[in-house]
Amino acid sequence: VWDAFDSLSPVTMPQWGRTGQKSLDKFHAVWNGPDLDYDFDHANTLEIVPGVGHLVSLKNLDMLVMMDERFRQVLWTVGAGEGNTFRTAGSSIFYQQHHAPYLGSNRLLLVDSGVETTRILELSLDPQAGTAAVARDFRADPPLYAPTRGSAFLVDGGKSLVAFYVGRDNTRQPTASRI
């Protein structure tokens, strides 16, 4: 069994993504207080990647983590924080992501819940540069914000099937789009 605290220390990691810093601040407040029921990392997706390992999406840290097949070692991480193997910057930064399938050939697809607008990102990882660049970016028209749920799947012909759930707090109903 893998425990995020075995690999990711809320005390020693110097920087997290935007949401991750809020999670870290909350963690420190909770750790020193009476309420110990706080979801520090909020792992919301686990994908088995045959021959590589296990891709874990940590929503509250704005981070994706590829673990080895035995869950003993972090192979790489993707996110905005300085300690990540693949650093995001500019348009490749994502927040509170959902459903992040590994597409092979150093490519990922994910639902970026964003700050006010949700989008689907396909990221291309560059092992030499240690960066994650945007290969494709899809936003609904009109824009929508789906803070809690969403999925993106690669389908025939290189297209993606995308589903957003916007719930009661938005004027639109659950939406599915194809890009």
Helix (H, G, I), strand (E, B) or coil at 21: helix
- Cβ(99)–Cβ(151) below 8 Å: yes
Among 126, 127, 156, 154, smallest CA distance to 138 is for 154
Written as tens digits, the pLDDT of the chain (179 aa) is 677 777 776 654 544 445 555 555 555 554 455 555 556 778 889 999 999 999 999 887 888 999 999 988 889 999 876 678 998 888 898 988 988 999 999 999 999 988 788 899 999 999 999 999 999 998 888 888 887 788 888 888 777 788 877 665 544 444 443 33
pTM of the model: 0.78
